[in-house]
Amino acid sequence: MLTRRATLATLAAAPLAFSQSRRKPNLVVILADDMGYGDIGTYGSPDVPTPHLDSLARQGTKFTDGYVSCAVCSPSRVALLTGRYQQRFGHEFNSGPPAREAQVNFGIPKEATILPQMLKPAGYRSAVFGKWHLGVRAGYHPFDRGFDEFVGFLPGGNDFITSQTPGGQIATVRGEGEAIPKQRQHSLMRGREPYSDDRYLTDLLAREAVDFIGRNRMQPFFLYLAFNAIHTPLQATTRYLDRFAGIANPKHRMLAAMTAALDDGIGAVLSKLKETSLERDTMVVFLSDNGCPVVTGAGTNHPLNGEKATYYEGGIRVPYIMRWPGRIPAGKLYRQPVVSRDIVPTFLAAAAVQAPSRIQFDGANLLPYLNGGAGAPHEALFWRGGQGRAVRKGKWKLVEFGDNYTKLFDLDADIGEKKDLSSANPAVVRDLKSAWTAWSNTMAKPAWPARYREVTVNGDKLNWEL
């Protein structure tokens, strides 16, 4: 729910942002998949260098407390592209396997308006390259949702290599033997048509993005580069694996290689923007869709607690960077909580594009705050995934599961959520519970049932909904 203050800030910032350039800015979202908070250099990884992401952070603003709207993939993407809580559309859970996606009423509802649809009347050309995961049925294709170009796959996961990929290798997650697949789990699509391409998938998607920038340099564009790296399966090529010969753990070595490929792809995109003289006319946002699943033994959310699917910090606090030369401060560390729902209203303000009047965003335009504005973008942030729920308000974070599991943390003093303070602060618990209930009562019920995965955190075994 956008506050009146944030609404006024949006209106105030939009003309300023537009007046500083003759053309509307290009808008780029680069999304990693299942990336842990501690798995890239600029967020503290000791052994996985990410020079291009590090450079992006130096040239822009890095968020220490950047959140996503859900701890699993598909609902997180709904919120990112709408600027609204995914629960408003009943999109509370992942769908499951593609066969189930086609059976249940899965997908972002057709009545929901997403970012490329908002930008199209202003002359933007939009493309998505990579993982869609927002519906596989007729009427749910990216072309039906405002995108002009699409190369990638519709379901929630895919192979990075095939037996025809030069240097392709694979690491097992649970110890069983795995063979390199003869073909990808799901066909790649160019537009609406399947096509075959055996290149390493991360490289392929980056090259499509670079080509799109070159072809559209004379008009404003929205590029949604939705990598499926570094999601499982753990697959890479020797080109990247050879950089990490010193990492003994084969799963972590594979993840390091996959991250290096991702970083190289981001570097290629940033280089193309510079080569085409579009760097100063382009806002770039990088983030992950949720935290990493530490159960794979490959990645880490250090120093955070928890993992993907949980509403501890490790499931929902992610690497989050925003760059717009001359418009967003360079080298800034922003410590107020922000969320992926902020991207749509921030982009629209930058482009001086008015959203349809019927849409009330649950995100804030961040431009005034990043440029010295007082206050915080959000009074509180809420999460709900079946029995799992959380709320952050200031330094306080409440995590609950069902009716008999309540944990309260002071994130200023305890980023790792190690010390439960609920017994010592009953008034804070009551306040946060009341705020969460009031918010939840305004949301729709889930449109399809959840699946489950048992996750153990700090000795607590809970069946988190996916």
Q: What is the pLDDT of residue 331?
A: 97
Helix axes 343-351, 73-82, angle to 10 degrees: 30
For the cut 70, the answer to whether the pLDDT of residue 2 exceeds it is: no
Confidence of residue 18 (pLDDT cuts 50, 70, 90): very low
So where are the chain's domains?
A: 4-370, 381-465
pLDDT digits 0-9 by tens, 194-238:
999 999 999 999 999 999 999 999 999 999 999 999 999 999 999
Residue 70 annotated to the active site: no
CB atoms under 10 Å from CB of 137, counted, come to: 14
Do the Cβ atoms of 103 and 209 come closer than 8 Å?
no
Average pLDDT of the chain is 93
For the cut 90, the answer to whether the pLDDT of residue 72 exceeds it is: yes
Strand partners, 234: 171
The alpha-carbon radius of gyration of the chain (Å, integer) is 21
Confidence of residue 10 (pLDDT cuts 50, 70, 90): very low
3-class state of residue 227 by DSSP = coil
Average pLDDT over residues 287-299: 96
Which residue is catalytic, options 52, 91, 133, 141?
133
User: Is the domain 381-465 a CATH 3.60.20.10 member?
Assistant: no
Burial (CB < 10 A; 0-12, 13-18, 19+), residue 174, is exposed
Output the CA torsion sign for 188, 190, 193, 198: negative
Domain with residues 4-370, CATH architecture: 3-Layer(aba) Sandwich (3.40)
Do the Cβ atoms of 362 and 345 come closer than 8 Å?
no
For the cut 90, the answer to whether the pLDDT of residue 4 exceeds it is: no
| Residues 6+ positions from 350 with CB-CB distance below 8 Å | 14, 17, 18, 25, 27, 283, 324, 327, 367
Q: What is the pLDDT of residue 97?
A: 73
| Rounded Cα gap, residues 411 and 141, in angstroms | 40
At position 174, the amino acid (one-letter code) is: R
Confidence of residue 178 (pLDDT cuts 50, 70, 90): confident
Length of the chain: 466
Which residue is catalytic, options 73, 91, 231, 378?
73
Q: What is the token pair recorded at 309?
A: 């699917």
Q: What is the pLDDT of residue 176?
A: 62
Strands 221-226 and 125-131: parallel
Domains 4-370 and 381-465 share a fold: no
| Rounded Cα gap, residues 388 and 117, in angstroms | 32
Residue 73 annotated to the active site: yes
Confidence of residue 96 (pLDDT cuts 50, 70, 90): confident
At position 390, the amino acid (one-letter code) is: A
The single residue listed with the structure tokens 């930058």 is 350
pLDDT digits 0-9 by tens, 332-388:
999 999 999 999 999 999 999 999 999 999 999 999 999 999 999 999 999 999 999
Kindly report the pTM of this predicted structure: 0.94
Question: Which of these, 326, 322, 375, 284, lies nearest to 16 by C-alpha position?
Answer: 326
For the cut 90, the answer to whether the pLDDT of residue 16 exceeds it is: no
